[in-house]
Structure 1
């Protein structure tokens, strides 16, 4: 049973405590009445007396009476088995009700007794969203991933792409080694040099370049910057070429 770390911090008013106690008494009374009704119904079916017409029909012939007595014995045995199985089922259901731990949070409820202490948070949140704490469902546990075959690393790339892949190969070069090789951060390209001709905004406006000329120069410069960033990203991601080939083969196989 999972412990709720927030239950110990919440202080309830006397009115809430009395209301909860009254609700628990009403629910327990309903459960007891339902159990007594089931037991009395089974007892009446088991001990119901036979009518005189049934006794006269049974005692017409000796041969038929022996057969009917066997039938009654078998029916009584079935009733006993039914009573025993019903009582066991009632005890089991009662035990399940006693081992419930329902937590209410933001007008939604979840039964935490059906989860283990090592259960992840996602199924708990999913049950909380369903808001059905009294409905028992089978909680599926995640099975561990199988280990890859021993000869997976020694096979060639084509055979490896056709196998069941459980993990992708590591990059061809670590990030630190790649950074030392480039002597800088490989994800950031070298800056584009500034133009040699500088624009003086305080000069004569009549000799200033036109708006179209300035826009064309800016577009050329920023297009070059964009291409350098794209090439730097492609160069950095080239370490995963083998993984890309495996993923592409898996996609094409579908």
Structure 2
């Protein structure tokens, strides 16, 4: 039995090229998007989904708290805030370990993208509020849009995916600059946990993953911005 409910599976846009056999695609996404007043597009970061709740720090599984080496830093931070979390659960991208992208402008190793309270995912404004309250950054906010036509909406998403990461993304194999991993779009307002798939969508670029199942044996810690030499 899980201590808490894990983060929902985010469905891909049908024009997202970075899908695998395990991914789910929301073919009729526009029927949901068209019902939302405003949507915020955020950068999808290449890390590990970690949840902070009063019960501990959780990775993909919420059956028990994580004890991985690359979550040591965020677990130490959790010890300082655990008694202040109450009923909120903070979800963020843990970038402490480098995966397929190395970021050169990290100011922190943990970037918040969602906050849950009981059976509700809080609004984007509340996400930013709680992130600031606990002194965490949020994932880069790229654009807030009001859906008009499907063609315009889709072009907005595609235009954002062609940009470099706000955090200066570089391919781990070549060391060359690369575009961001993808885009996560969400309803700016709060919504019920059970309505997750109708309020959150993603685009992932093709060929993003450069790691294999053995990456945990030789993982590297991501440097923060101030650790890189500056000319």
- With normalisation by structure 2, the TM-score equals 0.18
Structure exhibiting the larger radius of gyration computed from Cα positions: 1
The structure richer in strand per residue is 2
- With normalisation by structure 1, the TM-score equals 0.17
Larger RCO, structures 1/2 (Cα 8 Å, 6+ apart)? 2
